Structure 1
Amino acid sequence: MKIKFLGLVLLFVITSCASKKEILYLQDATENNSSEITYQTATIQPNDILKITVESLVPEAAIPYNRGGNSDVQVNSLELIKLQGYLVTNEGTINFPILGQITVSNLTALEIEEKIKKLLIDGGHLNNPTLEVRLVNAKITVLGEVNAPGTYNFTEQNITLLQALGYAGDLTINGKRDDIIMTRDVDGVRKITHIDLTSTAFMDSEYYFIKPNDVIIVNPNNPRVKNAGFVNNVGTILTIASLVLSSIILLTR
Structure 2
Amino acid sequence: MKTNLLLSRLSILLIILVLSSCASKKEVVYFQNAGDFETIVDRNSFTPKFKVDDVVSIHISTLNEEASAPFNLYRGPRTGTSLAPQSVDYIIDQQGEIDFPVIGKIKIAGLSPEEVRVLLREKLSEYLKDPIINIRLQNFTVTVLGEVNRPGTYPVNGERITILEALGLAGDLTIKGQRENVLVIRDFDGTKVYHRIDLRTKEALDSPVYYLTQNDVVYVEPNESAVTSSQLDNRASIWVSIASVLITSTVLIITRN
1:15 and 2:20 correspond: yes
Q: Residue 196 of structure 1 corresponds to which residue in structure 2?
A: 198
- Rounded Cα–Cα distance in structure 2 between residues aligned with 1:244 and 1:6: 14
**Change over 3 Å in CA distance of 1:143–1:51 after alignment to 2:** same
Letter in 1 for 2:142: I
Listed one character per residue, the Cα deviations across residues 61-106 of structure 1 (whole Å, up to 9, x for unaligned) are 0000012289xxxx9xxxx66xx21111122111111112211110
TM-score by length of 1: 0.83
Q: Residue 104 of structure 2 corresponds to which residue in structure 1?
A: 100
- Rounded Cα–Cα distance in structure 1 between residues aligned with 2:114 and 2:161: 18
TM-score by length of 2: 0.82
Find the residue that maps to 2:98 and give its secondary structure.
Answer: strand
Larger Rg: 2
**Change over 3 Å in CA distance of 1:88–1:32 after alignment to 2:** farther
Q: Residue 56 of structure 2 corresponds to which residue in structure 1?
A: 50
**Change over 3 Å in CA distance of 1:249–1:179 after alignment to 2:** same
Contact 1:181–1:193 (Cα < 8 Å) also in 2: yes
- Rounded Cα–Cα distance in structure 2 between residues aligned with 1:47 and 1:186: 11
- Rounded Cα–Cα distance in structure 2 between residues aligned with 1:241 and 1:173: 28
- Rounded Cα–Cα distance in structure 2 between residues aligned with 1:243 and 1:204: 53
- Rounded Cα–Cα distance in structure 2 between residues aligned with 1:17 and 1:244: 26
**Change over 3 Å in CA distance of 1:244–1:194 after alignment to 2:** farther
* Percent of paired sites with the same residue: 35
Alignment coverage as a number of residue pairs: 239
Q: Where do 1:92-171 residues align within 5 Å?
A: 92-121=96-125, 124-171=126-173
Listed one character per residue, the Cα deviations across residues 134-191 of structure 1 (whole Å, up to 9, x for unaligned) are 1122110001111111110111223211110011111111111111100112365321
Contact 2:59–2:133 (Cα < 8 Å) also in 1: yes
Name which of 26, 30, 34 aligns with 2:35. 30
Q: Residue 80 of structure 2 corresponds to which residue in structure 1?
A: none
TM-align CA RMSD: 2.9
- Rounded Cα–Cα distance in structure 1 between residues aligned with 2:35 and 2:242: 42
Unaligned runs of 5+ in 1: 233-237
Find the residue that maps to 1:62 and give its secondary structure.
Answer: helix
